[in-house]
Amino acid sequence: MTRQQSQKVATVLVTAVAIIVILPIFLVLVYIFAQGWSALSWEFFTQPPRNGMTEGGLLPAILGTLFLTLGTAVASIPLGIGAAIYLAEYAPNNRLTRLIRLAIVNLAGIPSIVYGLFGLGAFVLFLNFGTSILAGSLTLGLMTLPVIISTAEEAILSVPSEFRIVSLSLGATRWQTIRNQVLPHALPGILTGIILGLSRAAGETAPILFTVAAFYLPELPKSIFDQTMALPYHLYVISTQVPGMPLQIQYGTALVLLLIVLTLTLVATVVRTIMRRRRQW
Amino acid sequence: MTAKIHIHDLSFTYPDGTQALRHINLDIQPQQLFVLFGPSRSGKSTLLRLLNRLSDLLPDTQRSGDILLDGADIFARSVNVFELRRRVSMVFAIPTPLPGSIYDNLVYGLRMAGIRDQATLDERAETSLRQAALWDEVKDRLQDSAFALSGGQKQRLCLARSLALRPEIILLDNPTSGLDPISTAQVEQSLYKLKQQYTIIMVPHSVQQAARVGDQVAFLLDGEVIEVGDQSRIFVNPQDQRTEDYVTGRFG
């Protein structure tokens, strides 16, 4: 085979692989859209479920998922960014730092059901938050932390060191340099990590199973100490626990969950693009 | 005349064990352009970075000896290093504007020092741009991105950015390395005026530049000061064989 031929073969191969990667995502989206589209209606978004959940809408579950996502954000973003700044900018290369890194890697490897059990033991029972939005948000936040920390650290480390040195040479303190040069530059990357982490948290079932999710609760939560319905758990329930559930509602619920996560991602991507463009180079 | 900077028996070793400076002794007079020249890896840049303690950024280095600025030890515990870096300002070889407008760059150091008064910031921005001979070229577009400037303009902006802090000493680490002859001449012209007001310590781009701009010059080799003296004497009548070999181009 000549060099030109092998070049052609390689191009075809990698293109094929790339297409194979898109295919499953594309198929899932198309299938869920096709099956669930007809369930969508004004009522589906604005009414609680009725008649053994076989009729009505998803309002408590949709709002529950939004509350939980917000709670997860509050619990994980400040901690995650703080830890990332420490690791990237301050941490000396010593045993403590290695221990922290090891902990983060391990945190990322823990199965989500174990987070659920930990949340039950630590937040619901030991700290006595009860089965509540607070306990669920903290559990999801914990699960999201490693994603945010590692992507934020990566983003901070990718800031050119010249900017740091110039800032310091002009008499800025280390924190001023981080605040004015490093973080603005790293923000789009940090945001990517937050999107990834939160959209995963929004769709998780296992961590909220014992810590917050209610089987059926038509009223909306009144405080962070209340239980709430949530879309992923609701989807699990109506797919496996309720006999005679119309298939249309199941796919409709899946579609709504998908739409929420996609919207979250889309909004964040747009914000990120705008931020990148605003930055003068 | 008392020395502005007095360097006494200064040695410096990098974390990998490379000894970059060996027992340096130098006196640098105020209102002069002092040139540190020598082949690469002779310790010139290391010495510059010690003068405003940018060397602090590297962990696990070893230093012995003293640097006195107006008679006070810059490594003393009581020294505010951020204050020191405003008094001893650095311009780097590669002009590096910070992201933001030309104006943002000029007042960055002042803002970080807590100066918020708009009139003061405006005045300092204009004065320093004039000193760096850049005012006429950018006065109508101070809010434009600093990255839109040409290489020579960027370097003069970096010089102006340092001047805006009203430093006492300006450190220049090969400030014309990437510049064309015209831009280089402009920068050198600015320096000629600036040295009447400031103490300037410069690592030049070449031996020729050292001879062109220096008042006092020091020849460094392998981390040692081989010879120091008036520019006219060092280049015309060097005492040390190694200095003569280097300035006449026998090695380097």
The stretch B227-249 carries a mean pLDDT of 90
Distance from CA of A169 to the nearest CA of B (A): 6
Chain A CA closest to residue B106:
A170
Percent residues over pLDDT 70 in chain A: 99
What is the three-class DSSP state of A219?
A: coil
User: Which of B86, B94, B98, B143 has the highest number of chain A CBs within 10 A, making it the mutation to test binding with A?
Assistant: B98
CB contact under 8 A, A184 and B83: no
Closest CB to A171: pick one of B92, B112, B147: B112
User: Which of B45, B83, B96 has the highest number of chain A CBs within 10 A, making it the mutation to test binding with A?
Assistant: B96
Percent residues over pLDDT 90 in chain A: 57
Distance from CA of A82 to the nearest CA of B (A): 21
Mean pLDDT of chain A: 90
Q: At what angle do helices A59-85 and A183-203 cross, to 10 degrees?
A: 140
| DSSP code of residue A39 | G
Chain B CA closest to residue A164:
B98
CB contact under 8 A, A166 and B89: no
Percent residues over pLDDT 70 in chain B: 100
Is residue A278's pLDDT more than 90? no
Is residue A154's pLDDT more than 70? yes
Q: Kindly report the three-state secondary structure assignment for every residue of chain B.
A: CCCCEEEEEEEEECCCCCEEEEEEEEEECCCCEEEEECCCCCCHHHHHHHHCCHHHHCCCCEEEEEEEECCEECCCCCCCHHHHHHHEEEECCCCCCCCCEHHHHHHHHHHHCCCCCHHHHHHHHHHHHHHCCCHHHHCCCCCCEHHHCCHHHHHHHHHHHHHCCCCCEEEEECCCCCCCHHHHHHHHHHHHHHCCCCEEEEECCCHHHHHHHCCEEEEEECCEEEEEEEHHHHHHCCCCHHHHHHHCCCCC
CB contact under 8 A, B112 and A280: no
CA B64 – CA B136 distance, rounded (Å): 46
CB contact under 8 A, B89 and A170: yes
CB contact under 8 A, A173 and B90: no
Is residue A280's pLDDT more than 70? no
The stretch B79-103 carries a mean pLDDT of 93
Is residue A53's pLDDT more than 80? no
For residue B173, what are the domain limits? 5-98+168-247
Give B245 or A52, the one with higher predicted confidence. B245
Query: What is the tens place of the pLDDT at every residue in B169-215?
Result: 999 998 888 788 888 898 898 899 899 999 999 999 989 999 999 99
The stretch B97-124 carries a mean pLDDT of 94
So what's the pLDDT on residue A171? 93
Q: At B34, which CATH number?
A: 3.40.50.300
What is the three-class DSSP state of A106?
A: helix
So what's the pLDDT on residue A279? 67
Query: What is the tens place of the pLDDT at every residue in A56-99?
Result: 888 889 999 999 999 999 999 999 999 999 999 998 888 999 99
Is residue A121's pLDDT more than 80? yes
Is residue B104's pLDDT more than 80? yes
Closest CB to B54: pick one of A169, A181, A280: A169
- The pTM assigned to this predicted structure is 0.83
* In chain B, residues 28-67 whose CB comes closer than 8 Å to chain A: 52, 54, 57, 59
The stretch A229-236 carries a mean pLDDT of 90
Does residue B208 fall inside a structural domain? Answer: yes
Please name the amino acid found at residue B113. A
What is the token pair recorded at B56? Answer: 């602090």
Residues of A with CB below 8 A from B52's CB? 169
Residues of B with CB below 8 A from A169's CB? 52, 54, 85, 89-90, 92
Give the A-side interface with B, CB within 8 Å. 92, 162-163, 165-173, 176, 180-181, 184-185, 279-281
pLDDT category of residue A46 using cuts at 50, 70 and 90: confident
Does residue B151 fall inside a structural domain? Answer: no
pLDDT category of residue A170 using cuts at 50, 70 and 90: very high
Closest CB to A168: pick one of B57, B59, B100: B57
CB contact under 8 A, A170 and B57: no
pLDDT category of residue B91 using cuts at 50, 70 and 90: very high
Closest CB to B96: pick one of A162, A184, A279: A162
Is residue B159's pLDDT more than 70? yes
Alpha carbon A100 to its chain centroid, in Å, reads: 22
Beta-strand relationship, B72-73 and B62-69: antiparallel
Mean pLDDT of chain B: 91
So what's the pLDDT on residue B248? 86
CB contact under 8 A, A181 and B162: no
So what's the pLDDT on residue B214? 92
So what's the pLDDT on residue B10? 95
Is residue A281's pLDDT more than 60? no
So what's the pLDDT on residue B1? 56
So what's the pLDDT on residue B81? 94
So what's the pLDDT on residue A186? 92
So what's the pLDDT on residue B108? 95
Closest Cα partner for A62 from A258, A231, A179, A272?
A231
pLDDT category of residue A223 using cuts at 50, 70 and 90: confident
Chain B CA closest to residue A91:
B59
Instruction: Tell me how many residue pairs between chain A and chain B have CB atoms under 8 A apart.
Output: 65
Residues of B with CB below 8 A from A181's CB? 98-99
Which helix H or strand E contains A93, and what residues bound it? none
Is residue A32's pLDDT more than 70? yes
Residues of A with CB below 8 A from B99's CB? 163, 181, 184-185, 279-281
CB contact under 8 A, B82 and A162: no
Query: What is the tens place of the pLDDT at every residue in B117-151?
Result: 999 999 999 999 999 889 999 999 999 999 999 88
CB contact under 8 A, B165 and A181: no
Percent residues over pLDDT 90 in chain B: 71
Distance from CA of B217 to the nearest CA of A (A): 24
Is residue A276's pLDDT more than 60? yes
User: Which of B49, B57, B144 has the highest number of chain A CBs within 10 A, making it the mutation to test binding with A?
Assistant: B57
The stretch A240-261 carries a mean pLDDT of 88
Q: Residue ranges of the domains in chain A?
A: 40-278
Is residue A245's pLDDT more than 90? no
So what's the pLDDT on residue B9? 94
Overall fold of domain A40-278 = MetI-like fold (1.10.3720)
**Residue A117: exposure state from Cβ atoms within 10 A (0-12, 13-18, ≥19):** middle
Residues of B with CB below 8 A from A162's CB? 92, 94, 96
Number of structural domains chain B divides into: 1
CA B47 – CA B16 distance, rounded (Å): 17
CB contact under 8 A, A169 and B52: yes
Does residue B127 fall inside a structural domain? Answer: no
CB contact under 8 A, B112 and A172: yes
Query: What is the tens place of the pLDDT at every residue in B26-46?
Result: 999 999 999 999 998 899 999
Is residue A220's pLDDT more than 60? yes
CA A58 – CA A231 distance, rounded (Å): 8
Chain A CA closest to residue B164:
A170
